[in-house]
Amino acid sequence: MASDLALHFYAELFLVNVIPFFPTTTLPDFVPEESFLEEARAHAERHLAKCHAVLSGKGIKAKTFVEIGNDVAGNIMEVIDREHIDMVVISTHGISGWHPLIFGSIAEKVVKLVQCPLLLLRSAKPDSGLKTPSTRSMEWW
């Protein structure tokens, strides 16, 4: 959807991946924080490079950003402000249960904070239930 809009309006896309920064007390002793962040950044950069290549192949201009921070929604807002983004397209992941009730969803926080037009998309429903690394089940609408 975002790529279709960008193509139609000759717009540039800004792809953002935020790596949550965890205090050292939450990581196991055998995982050095620096190596965790380096590996996560490299993985995010590879993923965004693939997305960038697909968009470039369609003739869509795009920039990629990998941010690190404790407040994912806040990091997204910083990129919006820094890059003077005039429309946000963000997808929900449909996570339900106690986690979003306690902490709120990232998309919900961005919706509340953003000052420009926003398009909120629901992620496609996968064929089967997806498990997160913490083994929490993700329920899809």
Superfamily of 2-138 according to CATH = HUPs (3.40.50.620)
What are the residue ranges spanned by the domains of the chain?
A: 2-138
The pLDDT value recorded for residue 105 is 84
pLDDT values of the chain reduced to their tens digit, one per residue, 141 residues: 899 999 999 999 999 999 987 655 555 555 567 888 899 999 999 999 999 999 999 999 999 999 999 899 999 999 999 999 999 999 887 666 665 555 568 888 999 999 999 998 887 766 655 554 544 444 443
The pLDDT value recorded for residue 137 is 45
Residue 95 contacts residue 138 (beta carbons within 8 Å): yes
Q: For tokens 């975002």, name the residue.
A: 2
Residues in the chain: 141
The pLDDT value recorded for residue 124 is 72
